[in-house]
Amino acid sequence: MPRSRKKKLGSYPTVLVVFSITLALVVIGLFGLLLLHAHKLSQAVRENLEMQVYLDRDLPDTELLRLKQDLEATPAVARRPDGQPQVRYVDKAEGARQLLATTGEDLKFLDDNPLRDAYVLRLRPESTDTASLRQLGQRLGALRGVFEVQYPKSLFASINQNLTKVSLLLLGFAAVLVLLVVVLINNTIRLAMFSQRLLIRSMQLVGATRFFIQRPFLRRATWQGLASGVLAGLILLALLQYAYLEVGQLRLLRDDRLIGLLLAAVLGLGTIIGFLSSYWAVNKYLNVSLDELY
């Protein structure tokens, strides 16, 4: 007659715990990737905003060079990857050609080109808020040889307002999502530890110290959180690569440093929550009475 298999005392649903934590970490990681790419998109939008510095007429080359150096030394001016300031000179002839291309207006019928030579500046994303732009415009307008400083104020204000609203909405949703994930992981481990309550009490009855009882549970929970974080990171990387293959333009928003920080945060979140949840659960069963164990 075959032996009936007895359930091992203190059997722990390791696979279920790791699966549940991994799933929760993948959810928070996906939203984190959304936040990172939204941040890079807002930076790209801001980096494409330009400021025009129109010059006095008939400036000598020495004055043009001095102005260019002053503008390039402005901290608000964006830099290329090679460190060069993004300042370009547009003479009035080039300005007329650009006007013809964009509006169809031809200035050849005029005896004299009424446009002015200008320097066009690309600005750092952090310098495109309304107050910074106003101060920058006043400072550049006071330079010798500058006739006028122009930039699309309404466009800048609209972009800043919309990006601020979207950022606050995403951050608020992220805070709620992190809280839900923490609660989910905590409840998963606490439910798993419920199966260990009799084992914990048995160890207490034979005289084991609190630290001796806690140590194996905390070690196991830490490794489970770490393993879940690694699995979640691999899944996130696979999903990210798939997204890049399907939508090639997303690669323009890729930032390996921020993605690495996000994956490290996911790994740390799983490990820390796993450790703390196990610690709280073990302490709970160390302190309850015998009647409360059933």
- Clarify whether residues 132 and 190 are in a common domain: no
- Determine, yes or no, domain membership for 4: no
Residue 4 scores a pLDDT above 50 = no
Residue 206 scores a pLDDT above 70 = yes
- Clarify whether residues 113 and 136 are in a common domain: yes
- Determine, yes or no, domain membership for 126: yes
Which pLDDT does position 150 carry in this prediction?
85
CA distance 43 to 227: 34
Strand partners, 281: none
Contact present, 145 and 56 (Cβ < 8 Å): yes
Cα 4 from chain centre: 54
- Clarify whether residues 38 and 173 are in a common domain: yes
Residue 108 in 3-state DSSP?
coil
- Determine, yes or no, domain membership for 203: yes
Residue 178 scores a pLDDT above 50 = yes
- Determine, yes or no, domain membership for 128: yes
- Determine, yes or no, domain membership for 182: yes
| Residue (of 15, 22, 32) closest to 234 by Cα position | 22
Domain, as residue range, for 177:
14-43+165-293
CA distance 57 to 60: 9
Residue-by-residue DSSP string for 140-182: HHTSTTEEEEE--HHHHHHHHHHHHHHHHHHHHHHHHHHHHHH
Q: What is the pLDDT of residues 64-78, one digit of tens each?
A: 888 888 888 888 888
Residue 32's contacts (CB-CB under 8 Å, 6 or more residues apart) are 174, 262, 265, 266
- Clarify whether residues 39 and 169 are in a common domain: yes
Phi, psi of 178 (to 5 degrees): -60, -45
Contact present, 122 and 22 (Cβ < 8 Å): no
CA distance 213 to 281: 12
Structure tokens at 232: 């979640």
- Clarify whether residues 61 and 33 are in a common domain: no
Is the whole-model pTM more than 0.85?
A: no
- Determine, yes or no, domain membership for 6: no
- Clarify whether residues 263 and 120 are in a common domain: no
- Determine, yes or no, domain membership for 157: no
Residue 114 scores a pLDDT above 70 = no
User: For the chain, what is the domain count?
Assistant: 2
Burial of 46 (C-beta count, 10 Å sphere; 0-12/13-18/19+)? buried
Residue 58 in 3-state DSSP?
coil
- Clarify whether residues 146 and 178 are in a common domain: no
- Determine, yes or no, domain membership for 5: no
Phi, psi of 87 (to 5 degrees): -125, 125
Mean pLDDT of 261-274: 89
Residue 96 scores a pLDDT above 70 = no
Query: What's the pLDDT band for 101 if we cut at 50, 70, 90?
Result: low
- 87's enclosing H/E stretch is strand 87-90
